[in-house]
């Protein structure tokens, strides 16, 4: 994500607002407040930082895997703009040079897996946790970026892939368990959805998108706040990861899908005229041409905020998720 | 600086080599190994990380000043390529949210002072030192980048401004003294030399450049290694900052100018035919049109390595400098 002046709730966002308040106008096409910035020349840029003990633990995944995970997460912000990746830059700090090297190799290889070369960076000794900063650059090739702020009442909401597996891995580690290889892999190697971009443009023509880093609940709030709309997610339509259901109870897996975050799937808003309400054509065509599953999860309405609609028709505010700066 | 495969000595560089060894080929115009990378479309990018306790101390300069200093240092890498700045991205981590906000405001304002907008970033809680990662983007406007690797035997070496003041401030703080405001300012607010770029292109047409972050000795070694040449600096020509001489002994001030680093001036190599050996025209014209002083400090020769030529004609290897990863 990028620093943003128009964001949902949360202490981190208060801090970000304090930084960007009073910023001079820039000639960027998309400035602070979206998954990534878009420069006037169409270059798309995003920066993420992953801190040991906050975003990952050395006893969960090794240093190289932590580096690979950090760059995959950062690249996901480019996918959320509909951009394809070009280059990666890494800032690594920590007390142990060998660990920085392993993390740096992970960043390099993680970027290369998606066609993005590691072109620069910096290393620094620090008496603190291993800290992996990643800046990624991408290109739109003349296409329109998918902004957070462009969802409109009446749009249909879609989610790629399935949700909750990464959080189920974290929940298993946090209760001193050992997640299955499948769960661990979903945490360690999230897949930025570049493979689906061209199919999505062709068959869905999304108006708005956000990547699900903070969890469907929190990111639905971000989308609603940025677009000035109401987002309604239908509980029964949320694509909960089968591996999360197998490892946890169904209710817990749904909660993890909503609040756990770290899935790095895409939440997309598209006008219903493009695919039709409940049409099977859009998602089938996207899956057929890209291999990426697509699920209709809700609608955009007039109003403000994000809500979960239960099967019995009751609705409740979508809260929870995004605990990195939480009270704990 | 950027991660580099072709670098001078030092443990950090061994670590960087280990990361970039085996990197796939990219279509970047300038990849790892220079002050900044140049993408195929001419976008220039550099990443720096500044860590409390390593690059700055809270008792020396406040958090906002640390942020401002970090972005000025990163922007200097763009100036060293002959590029003008466009955008800034910040990655901030540390234990105290208020300190991150202050540092972030410093980054934003420091970038804006040079026309570069803060367009994105990330904040993270970390149980460790305040860590300020800055990625800067610039443009060449169709001009040729000044590479580290382009110095050729026979070139004349030039330095902008004067050297040693920032290191004199650090030396004073380190011996429990309080530096003068002038010295402190040279540490806290280094001036990336954008104002001189156009004048340098017109009057000197530099072939190669590097910014003096690690100290003239270490950066001369980097230039020599990247270009595969011998660099000879004449001791009597080194422009030692008067404020450093006033605060320290002349010998100590010269040592700080050579080894202290943090000056963020430019070391440039230009063919002698452009200005003539010892010509007054080049530096006078640059100063007159840009206000930036320029001093001829030595020559590039056949051979390898960097050397200091004393007034009595003796020469010694230029070592020292760049202690961030040192044994201390």
User: At residue A138, what are phi and psi to the nearest 5 degrees?
Assistant: -140, 180
Gap between the Cα atoms of B283 and B266, Å rounded: 13
Cβ contacts of A117 on chain B, cutoff 8 Å: 23-24, 26, 28, 31
Closest residue in chain B to residue A106, using alpha carbons only:
B19
- Tell me if A117 and B19 make a contact (CB, 8 A cut-off): no
**Contact assignment for B47 to A19 by CB distance below 8 Å:** no
pLDDT of residue A28: 84
A80 min Cα distance to partner chain B (Å): 15
Determine, for residues B86 and A118 on separate chains, whether the beta-carbon distance falls below 8 Å.
no
Measured in whole angstroms, the distance separating CA A37 from the mean position of its chain's CA atoms is 15
d(CA B211, CA A36): 29
**In the prediction, which pLDDT does A10 show?**
64
Whether residue A126 and residue B129 make contact (CB cut-off 8 A), yes or no, is yes
Query: Does B43 contact A43 at a Cβ distance shorter than 8 Å?
Result: yes
- On the question of a common fold for B11-139 and B148-317, the answer reads no
ipTM field:
0.90
CB A39 within 8 A of CB A48: no
> What's the pLDDT score for residue B281?
59
Q: How far apart are the first and last CA of chain B?
A: 22
Contacts of A16 in chain B (CB under 8 A): 104, 123
The parts of chain B modelled with pLDDT lower than 50 are: 1-8, 276-278, 322-328
Percent of chain A at pLDDT above 70?
Answer: 91
Residues in chain A: 328
* Residue of B88, B95, B120 to mutate, interface with A, max A Cβ within 10 Å: B120
pLDDT value for B323: 43
Query: Best residue in B2, B3, B106 to probe A by mutation, most A CBs within 10 Å?
Result: B3
Q: Do A50 and B124 touch (CB under 8 A)?
A: yes
Cβ within 8 Å, pair B23-A127: no
**Of 3.40.640.10, 3.30.70.420, 3.30.1330.10, 2.130.10.10, which CATH number belongs to A11-139?**
3.30.1330.10
Q: Do the chains contact at A49 and B91, CB–CB below 8 Å?
A: yes
Which residues face A124 on adjacent strands? A93
What residue ranges do the domains of chain A occupy? 11-139, 148-317
Closest CA to B225 of B34, B24, B23: B34
Q: In what order do the strands lie in the sheet with A37-38?
A: A37-38, A43-51, A131-139, A84-94, A117-125
Q: Which residues of chain A have pLDDT under 50?
A: 1-8, 276-278, 322-328
Return the CATH fold of A148-317: Phosphoribosyl-aminoimidazole Synthetase; Chain A, domain 2 (3.90.650)
Considering only CB atoms, B122 lies closest to which of A48, A108, A119, namely A48
* C-alpha span between A166 and A254 (Å, rounded): 13
Angle at B186 between CA B185 and CA B191, to 5 degrees: 110
Digit-coded pLDDT (tens) for B72-84:
999 999 999 999 9
Structure confidence at residue A35 (pLDDT): 87
Outline where B4-50 has alpha helix (H). Answer: 11-20
Strand ranges (E), chain B: 37-38, 43-51, 84-94, 117-125, 131-139, 156-160, 208-211, 230-234, 266-270, 294-301, 305-309, 315-317
Q: What is the pLDDT of residue B6?
A: 40
The closest of A325, A7, A299 to A155, measured between CA atoms, is: A299
| Rounded (5°) CA angle A2-A4-A7 | 120
Instruction: Indicate the angle between helix axes A165-174 and A181-188, nearest 10 degrees.
Output: 110
Across the interface, of B23, B122, B124, the residue whose CB is closest to A117 is B23
Residues 6+ apart with CB under 8 A from B185: none
State the helix-helix crossing angle for B250-259 and B165-174, rounded to 10 degrees: 110
For A67, nearest residue in chain B (alpha carbons): B19
In tens, the pLDDT along A294-313 reads: 999 999 999 999 999 999 99
């Amino acid at each position: 994500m990028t620093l943003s002046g128009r964001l949902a709730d949360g202490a981190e966002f208060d801090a970000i607002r304090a930084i960007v308040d009073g910023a001079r106008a820039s000639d960027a096409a998309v400035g602070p407040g979206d998954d990534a910035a878009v420069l006037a020349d169409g270059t798309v840029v995003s920066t993420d930082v992953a801190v040991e003990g906050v975003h990952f633990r050395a006893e969960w995944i090794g240093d190289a895997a932590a580096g690979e995970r950090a760059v995959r997460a950062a690249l996901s912000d480019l996918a959320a703009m509909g951009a394809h990746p070009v280059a990666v830059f890494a800032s690594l700090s920590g007390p142990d040079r060998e660990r920085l090297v392993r993390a740096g190799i992970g960043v390099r290889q993680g970027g290369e897996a998606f066609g993005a070369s590691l072109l620069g960076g910096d290393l620094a000794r620090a008496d603190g946790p291993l800290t992996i900063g990643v800046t990624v650059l991408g290109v739109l090739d003349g296409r329109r970026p998918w902004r957070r702020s462009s969802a409109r009442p009446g749009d249909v909401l879609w989610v790629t892939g399935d949700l909750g597996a990464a959080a189920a891995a974290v929940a298993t580690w946090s209760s001193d368990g050992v997640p299955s290889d499948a769960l661990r892999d979903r945490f360690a190697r999230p897949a930025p959805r570049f493979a689906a971009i061209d199919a999505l443009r062709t068959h869905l023509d999304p108006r708005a998108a956000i990547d699900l880093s903070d969890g469907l609940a929190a990111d639905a709030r971000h989308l609603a706040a940025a677009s000035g709309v109401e987002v309604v997610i239908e509980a029964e339509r949320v694509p909960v990861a089968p591996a999360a259901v197998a490892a946890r109870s169904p209710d817990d897996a749904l909660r993890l899908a909503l609040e756990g975050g770290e899935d790095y799937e895409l939440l997309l808003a598209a006008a219903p005229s493009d695919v039709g309400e409940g049409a099977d054509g859009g998602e089938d065509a996207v899956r057929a041409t890209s291999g990426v599953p697509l699920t209709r999860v809700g609608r955009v309405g007039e109003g403000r905020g994000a809500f979960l609609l239960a099967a019995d028709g009751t609705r409740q505010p979508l809260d929870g998720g995004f605990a990195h700066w939480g009270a704990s």
